Amino acid sequence: MPVPPMLSSLVPSRRLSAALVLCGMVAACTNAPVTGRQQLILLPEGQAQQMGVEAYQQIKSEKGVSNDPRYTGPVQEIGRRVAAVSGQPDLAWEFTVFEDEEPNAFALPGGKVGVNTGLFKVAKTKDQLAAVMAHEVGHAIARHSAERVSRQALVQAGQQAIGAQYPGMAEVLAQASTLGLILPFTRSQESEADHIGLMLMARAGYDPRAAVDLWRNFEAAGGGRPPEFLSTHPAPGSRIDNLNAIMPQALDEYQRSPHRQG
């Protein structure tokens, strides 16, 4: 889901970029959960979690936190069930509902997940809400924020090195990096979070077919969207196609889940 603009603290500064590149000499590759995709994450786990906690507290101080049980009840229930099957149940999970009409949710390092009240206009059932929340948990356990910071640090370091030799190319390099590297990578993380989330919601006993219904709701809701190649997120139609492609595996998880109800 789209990330709130106040999360700029997770974007690497030039100083942090240089430090992360140096750390890359000793950084170990890891693999994303569920998909097994190889990742290079330069940002230490503890540092990423601290940044996530600080950003989460900032959001809480700037946005209203909802105590409406119509929202907090299902969010807490789903959060507990999905976190329990995430492979990282001991992470300091926290699920908060924010008074915000934008249909959005987000995840920060360390298991911090926010859900806007506006999401309930699109996620019309508990299973559909679980699709969103499992997606966000997927971002958290795959350490997507730290991976994105690491990728941006490497890109910035490359831009600076080339720009020092060819100063007139700086703007062209920035645009090319955004279109050719950063945006496609961010979209691939979103698709991976969809994949991870689909399996997690199924394991937690929520019907994975609701994820397709959710994105049909988003598609029906409309709203101005940039072309997919200019966006940080896949288009709803692309997400539906990708989800349907892995749905048989998710349904198998769902049928075997001891948490399934009904």
Active site residues: 136
Which two three-digit tokens encode residue 82?
């999905």
Residues 6+ apart with CB under 8 A from 169: 162, 163
CA angle 35, 40, 44 (to 5 degrees): 110
Which has the closest alpha carbon to 35: 229, 258, 194, 218?
Answer: 194
Element (H, E) at 94: strand 94-98
For 64, 111, 152, 162, the CA distances from 165, given in Å and listed in that order, are: 48, 42, 20, 5
